[in-house]
Amino acid sequence: MQFNALLRQMCSMLILTAAIWLWQVYARVLVDAAVLVSTAVVVLIIAVGLWQRARVRRRVWLDAYFLHQSPINKWLKGGVWMAALQAISAVVLGVYLALALIRIPSVRVWMSLLIVALVFPLLSHLIARGLRWHTKPSYRRVLSMRWAAFALGAILWLFLIFVSYQSSYPDFRNANLDQSIWYMMSQEQARSAWLLNCLEFVAASDGLRFWLAQHLLPAPATSLWQVLAWCIVLAQEALFVWSYLMLCTGVLSVQRTDLKESLE
Burial of 165 (C-beta count, 10 Å sphere; 0-12/13-18/19+): exposed
Highest mean pLDDT among 50-54, 78-82, 231-235, 241-245: 241-245
CA distance 106 to 18: 16
Of 93, 77, 43, 105, residue with least CA distance to 238: 93
Burial of 191 (C-beta count, 10 Å sphere; 0-12/13-18/19+): middle
Q: List, for residues 142-187, the tens digit of each pLDDT value.
A: 788 888 999 999 999 989 888 877 777 777 878 888 888 899 888 8
pLDDT at 119 over 50: yes
- Side-chain-side CA neighbours of 60 within 13 Å: the count stands at 13
pLDDT band at 112 (very low <50, low <70, confident <90, very high): very high
pLDDT at 107 over 80: yes
Sequence-separated (6 or more) residues with CB below 8 Å from residue 104 = 24, 110
Q: What is the pLDDT of residue 218?
A: 55
Q: What is the pLDDT of residue 19?
A: 93
Mean pLDDT check: name the lowest of 12-26, 62-76, 132-146.
62-76
Sequence-separated (6 or more) residues with CB below 8 Å from residue 257 = none
Q: What is the pLDDT of residue 261?
A: 43
Q: What is the DSSP string of 149-215?
A: HHHHHHHHHHHHHHHHHHS-----TTS-HHHHHHHHHHT---SSHHHHHHHHHHHHHHHHHHHHHHH
Please state the pTM of the whole predicted model.
0.82
CA distance 94 to 20: 12
Mean pLDDT check: name the lowest of 208-212, 233-237, 240-244.
233-237
Q: What is the pLDDT of residue 92?
A: 92
